[in-house]
């Protein structure tokens, strides 16, 4: 038995309603970009902190190596 036009119209209404429900859960374009901007700002800060920490770690490693070499020669 084939579907009638009325059946197809009912299916379309049902799908449109379900789709609208799901789309309402998504953020708007402005909300999305605002959130992404905040996240990218945090990521930038983390990367900057990591660069500073990496530099300090290198300095501490050099100092430690220098101290170890002076203690082994004493």
pLDDT digits (tens, 9 = 90+) for 16-31: 999 999 999 999 999 9
Lowest mean pLDDT across 9-13, 14-18, 51-55: 51-55
Question: What does residue 33 show for φ and ψ, rounded to 5 degrees?
Answer: -70, -35
Quick one: pLDDT at residue 74? 61
Q: How many residues does the chain have?
A: 74
How many Å is the Cα radius of gyration of the chain?
A: 31
What is the distance between the alpha carbons of residues 34 and 30, in angstroms, rounded to a whole number? 6
Mean pLDDT for 46-63 is 89
């Amino acid at each position: 038995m084939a579907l009638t036009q009325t059946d197809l119209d009912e299916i379309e209404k049902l799908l449109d309603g379900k789709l609208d429900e799901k789309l309402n859960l998504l953020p708007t374009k402005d909300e999305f970009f605002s959130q992404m901007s905040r996240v990218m700002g945090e990521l930038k800060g983390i990367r900057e902190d990591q660069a500073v920490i990496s530099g300090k770690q290198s300095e501490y490693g050099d100092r430690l190596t220098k101290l170890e070499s002076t203690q082994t020669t004493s």
